[in-house]
Amino acid sequence: MNSADEISQIAEDLSSITGPEYSRRGINDITVSPADTRQIASVLDFAYKKRLAVSAQGGETKQGWGQGVRPSIYISLARLNRIIEHPWQDLTCTVQAGCTWSSLQRTLMLHRQFVALDPLFEDRATVGGVLATNDSGALRHRYGSLRDLVIGMTLVLPDGTIAKTGGKVVKNVAGYDLCKLMTGSFGTLAIITEANFRLHPIPQHIRDFSIAASHASDFAPLLAMIRASHLLTQSLQIRRSDSGFHLDVRLNAHPESHHDGILSQMTRDEGFVLEEAPESIWKAREILFAPDAIVLRIATLPVDVCEYADKLQLLRPVIQVQSISQANGLHEVALRGSSNEIEAIIRQLRADATHPHTTISVLQQNRDIEVVAFDISSPVLSLMKAVKDQFDPNCILNPGKFFAEA
Amino acid sequence: MHTLLTSDIVSELRRIVGEKGLITAPNQLQTYECDGLTAFRVPPAAVLLPESTEQVQNILRLCHREKIAFVARGAGTGLSGGALPAEGSIVIGLSRMNRILNIDIPNQQITVQPGVINANVTAAVAPDGYFYAPDPSSQTVCSIGGNIAENAGGAHCLKYGFTVTHVLEMTVVLPNGELVTLGGKVPSAAGYDLAGVFIGSEGTLGVATEMTLRIMRKPETVQVILAAFNSISAAAQSVSDVIASSQLPAAMEIMDRLSIEAAEISVHPNYPACEALLLIELDGPEAEVNLQMATVIEICKNNGAWETRLAIDDNARFLVWKGRKAAFAAAGRLSPNYIVQDGVIPRTSLPAVLEQLNAMAAADHLRVTNVFHAGDGNLHPIVLYNRDNPGEEERAINLSLRILDVCVEAGGSITGEHGVGREKQCSMSYMFSDPDLETMQRVRRAFDPFNLANPDKLFPTPRLCGERSRGAYAPHPVEASGIAEVF
C-alpha cells in the first residue's frame, strides 16, 4: 500500500501522460483513462519501472472474478470504445477493447452478423473484459468459446511493449497464437487494447423450448438422445429454478426441417412435456452473478452433467444454491451463506471430486473467502508461472489473480 | 556444427529405445533428412523411434542434460520444412506410437497417440456415426501429432474450425523431460490456455505424446455442387454472395484451369473444362440443405456459372473431392518440380491479388497454378519449375516467397495451414514487427529456455535471413551451454 504522498506523486505523473482530466485520484488508488494504446503503453511503462500494481478496467462487471490484491492504478479502457472496421463480406471485425459487447453486436447486426458469444451483462461488459475472463454463455454449445472466435489482438505488455498477434484473417497459423494465451488470462500477462473477431451469420430461425422435471437426472436419457441426434440445437442447458429443474433447448432449424416436431416426439417418448419458452431463459445466468453471490465454475464430463446438477442441490438447505449447467459439462453455481459455510462447501466439493476430470474454480468472489480460486496441478502450474515471469517479471499486472501466493 | 553424439550418448539412447528404435546408419538417416518440402535437406545425427511417453521423456531428459537439439516428426508430410532436422540434432519419429487408446462416444471424445493417421480417427468412430473434422488434403497419410504441431486445417475448417478447435487435452513432454497435461477432457481447464498456444507451435515447445480429440456427429446429409465459370472473379464473387446470404457452407473451394487439367490427368474426376471451378459443400439436416442448395445454385447462375453439377451420393462426392485433394500431387503431372504456397488474404481481395500473382509469374517466366480454400481466403498457389534448368529453382522459391509478401500487403497471412517451418521463417519479419516476434519468444523461453525443441525454425534468424531478419535472437544450444561462442 502506498502512502498518501506517494499516491499524490503517482497521480501527478500519470496525469502528465493522460492529461489531468483523465486521471482520477481515489483514497488508495488512481484511475486513469488513456486515449489510446500508446498512452496505455506509457502508463504501463511507468508502473513497471515503479513496480506498481495495475488492473485493467472495463465495465466493472467481473472485477470480483479470481483473487487478487487491490492495485495502485486502474487503467480504464472506457475511451477505447470504437468499432474500427467491419468488413462484413470477410465475416470479420476489429474493435477496441473498451467497447461494450452490446454496442459491438448492434453494429454487426446491420449486416445480420454477430460474434457468436453471449457473455454476461452485455450492456456493460466490454470486449476486453469478456476476453480477459473468457466468459461465455449458452451459445458455446454450438459455436465454441472465445478461443474459437478471436483471430487477432493488439496487446500492451507490462513493460510497455506494444505487440500484435494473429491477424485479420480467419485462417492463420503464422507464429504462436497468443490470442489463446491472453483469452482467460485475467489480465495477468498483458492488457488487450484491440481485438479481431471472426463472425457468424445470425441464425434465421430460432425457437426456444423448455422441459420441466423435479430432478436433473430425469433428463439424462433425453439429453443424451438430443446430443446424439441431428437436431440443430444452438443451446442446451439445465437450469434450476424454485420450481425444480428445466432442460432448455434452442433450435436453429428451418421450419421445413420439422425439428420442433422431432424434439416434441423425443420428449413425449421419455414421458415429458415440451413447452415453448421465453427468450429470457438464456439470460438466467445473470441472476447467478448477483454481487452478493460466490460463483463457482465447475467442469464435468458431458455424461455426468445431470447427476452433478442434482448433487449440487444436496448442499441445501445449509446454504442457498442456484445453478445452470451447460450440456458440454460446464456448471455455474451461485452460493449464498456465511463465508465459513461456503469455504467448507467448496473444500468438500473438491474433496468429493473423485472423478479426475472434475475441476472446481471460484469465479466470482466479491468478498474474501479462504480457498484457492483456481485449483491447478503443480507441474502445469510451474509452467504457467514461467510464462507469467516472462511476460511480467515485476508482477505488476493483477498480482495474485491467478497464482494465490504471487 | 558437428554432431554432439558421443558413443556414450548413443549407447544411452540405445538403452532407452532399444536396438530397433535407433537409426544411425547414414543410408537410413537419409529418409529423415527432409519432409514434404524437399528443397531443404539436412541429415540428422540420429533418429529415435520411441514407443511410449516414458521413452520420449527419457530421450528429452538426455537431450536436456547434454543440450542436444531435437526435432519431433510425425509422418513427414509437412510442406514447410517443420520436420527438417537441425544440424547435429536428433529426430524423434513418432510413427510407432500409433495406437487408439480410448473411444468415448457418450462424451464425444477419442484418445489417441501422435502417430495415428488422421483418416484413421474418423474410421474408428464412423461406425458410431461420428467423424473427426480437421481434414488436411494429406489426411490419409499425415499423423495427428503432426496435425497438432502445425494446427492443421483442411477444406472443411470454414465451418468446423482447425485442429485447435478439436483437441481437448494433450499429454506433453516438455523440453526438460517433464510431463504436463495441457487442456482437459472437461471444458475450460483452469489457468492459461497453454494447449491453445502449444497447438500450432511447430514442435518448438515440446512433444505431445497422447491427445484427446473431439469427435462430431456426422451430418444427416452432405451435398456438393460443382459450378463452372469463365473467370476466377465470377467464382470469387459467388463465394462472397453465398456468405452475404447468411449461409456457412462446410467448404468452398476454387480451382483454376491448370489445376483442373492436372487433376483430370491424374485422378479423372471428370470436371468440366473451365477457367474456374467452384466447389461448395453444404451439410446438415436434409430439408435445410435442400433449401440452402437451391439458393447456392441460384447465386452461382447469377454470377455466370454455365454448368452446375450436384453430387449427392457418396460415390459422386468422393470423386469430386478426390480431384481437389489430389491437386498438389497432380501438379507433378504439369512439371517435374513444384512449390506449394499457403498464403491467406481477406476473401474479398481475391480477384485483385490473383491478378497481381499472375503478372508476377509472367514476369518471371514461371507458371503458377492455383487452388484455394476460397471460403476462408486461403490460397495455395503452386509454382511450377524444373530443377534441371539452371537458376529456375531459385527463381521459383523467390517467387513463392514474394507471393507471401503480396498476401501480407493485402492484410493477410503468410500461412493458413502449412506452418512457417524452415521455409517461411524469413517472411515472419515481413508479417510481424520486432516486438511481436519478441513477445512470442517469451512463450518459447518459458517452455524451452535452452532452445532445444526444433531450433532454427519459425522465427527469423540473422544467419538464415540476413538483413531482413529483425527478429529476436535466441542462442544456439552450443552457445548457451558455453561450448562455442558467436563471433
User: Is A134 a residue whose pLDDT tops 70?
Assistant: yes
Please list every residue in chain B whose beta carbon sits closer than 8 Å to the beta carbon of residue A170.
376-377
User: Could you tell me which residues are beta bridge partners of residue B73?
Assistant: B93
User: Percentage helix, strand, coil, to 5, in chain A?
Assistant: 35, 25, 40
DSSP code, position B322: H
The answer to whether the Cβ–Cβ distance between B440 and A178 falls below 8 Å is: yes
B413/A257 touch (CB, cutoff 8 Å), yes or no = no
Cβ contact (<8 Å) for A169 and B194? no
Taking an 8 Å cut-off on Cβ atoms, the answer to whether B193 and A181 are in contact is yes
Summarize pLDDT for A321-350 with one digit per residue, the tens: 899 999 999 999 999 989 999 999 999 899
Domains, chain A, ordered by start? 83-201 (3.30.465.10), 207-281 (3.30.70.260), 285-364 (3.30.70.1710)
Q: pLDDT above 70 covers what percent of chain A? A: 99
Sign of the Cα pseudo-torsion (B267, B273, B275, B276, in order): negative
By the 8 A CB rule, do A177 and B439 touch?
Answer: no
Torsion of CA B5, B10, B16, B20, to 10 degrees: 120
Give the residue from B168, B182, B188, B353 with the most A CB atoms within 10 Å of its CB, the best one to mutate.
B188
Q: Using CA atoms, how far apart are residues B31 and B12, in angstroms rounded to an integer?
A: 23
β-strand partners of A335? A294, A321
Domains B100-217 and B335-409 share a fold: no
Cβ pair A328:B187 closer than 8 A: yes
How many angstroms separate the CA of residue A68 from the nearest CA in chain B?
Answer: 14
In chain A, residues with a C-beta closer than 8 Å to the C-beta of B246 are 112, 201-202, 204
Spatial separation of the C-alpha atoms in residues A63 and A54, rounded to whole Å: 13
Please tell me which residue of chain A has the smallest CA distance to B218. A230
Residue B127 in contact with partner chain A when CB distance is under 8 A: no
Whether residues A148 and B412 touch (CB distance < 8 A) is answered with no
Output the CA angle A339-A343-A346, nearest 5 degrees. 140
CB contact under 8 A, B288 and A165: no
Q: What is the DSSP letter of A202?
A: P
Subunit contact A377:B458, Cβ cutoff 8 A = no
Burial of A97-123, coded b for 16+ CB within 10 Å and e otherwise, reads bbbbbebbbeebeebebbbbbbbbbbe
Domain ranges of chain B: 100-217, 221-312, 335-409
Q: What are the grid coordinates assigned to B194, written together?
A: 497453454
Interface check for B189 against chain A (CB to CB < 8 A): the answer is yes
What is the pLDDT, as a whole number, of residue B484? 38
Which residues in chain B are contacts of A44 at CB distance < 8 A? none
pLDDT for residue A404: 59
pLDDT at A400: 86
Chain A's closest residue to B130, CA to CA, is A228
Cβ neighbourhood burial of B354 (10 Å; 0-12, 13-18, 19+): buried
What DSSP character marks residue B84? Answer: P
Q: Do B191 and A164 touch (CB under 8 A)?
A: no
Neighbours of A29 (CB within 10 A): 20
Quick check: A176 pLDDT over 60?
yes
- Chain B residue at shortest CA distance from A171: B416
For residue B252, with 0-12 CB atoms within 10 Å meaning exposed, 13-18 middle and 19 or more buried, which class applies? buried
**Residues from chain A contacting residue B347 (CB–CB below 8 Å):** 89-91
Contact A176 B443 (CB under 8 A): yes
Beta strands in B144-297 (DSSP E): 167-173, 179-183, 207-214, 216-217, 221-229, 251-256, 276-284
Amino acid at A326: Q
Q: Which helix (H) or strand (E) holds B462?
A: helix B462-465
Identity of the residue numbered A350:
R
B447 CB neighbours in chain A (<8 A) are 383, 386
Q: What is the separation of C-alpha B332 from the centre of its chain, rounded to a whole number of angstroms? A: 20
d(CA B242, CA B236): 10
**Within a 10 A sphere around the Cβ of B246, how many other Cβ atoms?**
16
Distance from CA of A323 to the nearest CA of B (A): 17
Contact with chain A for residue B382, Cβ under 8 A:
no
Is B428 in Cβ contact with A183 (below 8 Å)? Answer: no
For chain B, residues with pLDDT lower than 70 are: 1-4, 467-487
| Nearest CB to B197 within list A144, A180, A254 | A180
ipTM: 0.96
Instruction: Mark which residues 387-426 of B lie under 8 Å from A by CB.
Output: 411-420, 424
For B257-349, where are the alpha helices, taking DSSP H only?
257-267, 286-302, 314-325, 327-334
Model pLDDT, residue B324: 86
| Residue listed under C-alpha cell 438464456 | A282
List beta partners, residue A326. A237
Q: What region, left, alpha or beta, does residue B455 occupy, with left being phi > 0 and alpha being psi -120 to 50 degrees?
A: beta
CA distance A27 to chain B (A): 32
Instruction: Quote the minimal CA–CA distance from B429 to chain A in Å.
Output: 11
- Can you read off the three cell numbers belonging to residue B149? 504441431
Q: CA of B8, closest CA in chain A: separation in Å?
A: 30
Neighbours of A51 (CB within 10 A): 10
Predicted local distance difference test score (pLDDT) of residue B470: 33
CA B307/CA A208 separation, integer angstroms = 41
Residues of A in contact with B186 (CB under 8 A): 299-301, 329-330, 357-359
Q: pLDDT at position B446, please?
A: 98
Average pLDDT over residues A67-89: 93
* Cα–Cα dist B320/B311, whole Å: 8
Cβ–Cβ of A112/B246 closer than 8 Å? yes
CA distance B37 to chain A (A): 17
Neighbouring CB atoms inside 10 A of B19's CB total: 6
Minimal C-alpha gap between B275 and chain A (Å): 24
| Chain A positions in Cβ-Cβ contact with residue B436 (cut-off 8 Å) | 163-165, 175
Distance from CA of B332 to the nearest CA of A (A): 26
Measured distance CA(B280)–CA(B269) in Å, rounded: 16
Q: Are A134 and A150 in contact (CB under 8 A)?
A: no
Q: What CA–CA distance (Å, rounded) separates A131 from A134?
A: 5
More confident residue, A7 or B478: A7
Phi–psi pair at B358, nearest 5 degrees: -60, -40
What angle do helix axes B232-244 and B286-302 make, rounded to 10 degrees?
Answer: 140
- Quote the percentage of chain A above a pLDDT of 90: 81
Contact A90 B348 (CB under 8 A): yes
Asked if the Cβ–Cβ distance from A88 to B188 is below 8 Å, we say: no
Segment 153-172 of chain B within 8 Å of chain A by CB: 153, 157, 161-162, 164-165
Look at phi and psi of residue A68 and say left if phi exceeds 0, alpha if psi is from -120 to 50, else beta: left
Contact between B169 and B184 (Cβ < 8 Å) = yes
> DSSP of A142-161, one letter per residue?
HH--GGGTEEEEEEE-TTS-
Residues in chain A within 8 Å Cβ distance of B346: 87, 90, 92, 168-169
Four-point Cα dihedral B371, B372, B378, B380, nearest 10: 0
Min Cα distance A135 → chain B (Å) is 10
What is the chain B residue with the closest CA to A228?
B217
Would you give the distance in Å from CA A198 to the centre of its chain? 18
Q: How many other C-beta atoms can be found within 10 angstroms of the C-beta atom of residue A95?
A: 26
CA distance B329 to chain A (A): 23
B250 touches chain A (CB under 8 A): no
Q: Quick check: B192 and A185 CB within 8 A?
A: yes
CATH value of B221-312 in 3.40.30.10, 3.40.50.1370, 3.40.640.10, 3.30.70.3450 = 3.30.70.3450
Residue-level pLDDT at B3 = 55
Q: Residue A164 is nearest to which of B247, B284, B436, comparing CB atoms?
A: B436
Model pLDDT, residue A29 = 93
- Which of B334, B422, B423, B329 has the alpha carbon at shortest distance from B386? B334
Which residue of B186, B202, B431, B434 is the best one to mutate when testing the A interface, meaning the one whose CB has the most A CBs within 10 A? B186
The residues near B141 (Cβ < 8 Å, ≥ 6 apart) are B75, B77, B117
Distances (CA, A) of A319 to A336, A341, A372, B22, B350: 6, 7, 20, 61, 60
Of B153, B196, B219, the CB nearest to A181: B196
CATH topology of domain B335-409: Alpha-Beta Plaits (3.30.70)
The CATH class of B100-217 is alpha beta
**Contact between A167 and B411 using a beta-carbon 8 Å cutoff:** yes
Pair A65, A133: CB distance under 8 Å = yes
Pairing of strands B90-93, B46-48: parallel
B325: buried, middle or exposed (CB in 10 Å: 19+, 13-18, 0-12)? Answer: buried
User: Pick from B256, B258, B264, B232: which is nearest to B384 by CA?
Assistant: B258
Q: Give dist(CA B115, CA B93) in Å, integer.
A: 9
* Candidates B185, B431, B442, partner chain A, best to mutate (most A CBs within 10 A): B442
Amino acid at A116: A
Supply the mean pLDDT for chain A: 93
Tell me which chain A residue has its CA closest to the CA of residue B155: A171
Cβ atoms within 10 Å of B130's Cβ, excluding its own: 21
- Using the Cβ of B131 and the Cβ atoms of chain A, whether some distance falls under 8 Å is answered with no
d(CA B412, CA A166): 10
A 10 A CB-CB count for B414 gives 31
Q: What is the pTM of this model?
A: 0.94
Q: Is the Cα torsion angle A194, A198, A200, A201 positive or negative in sign?
A: positive
CB contact under 8 A, A145 and B188: yes
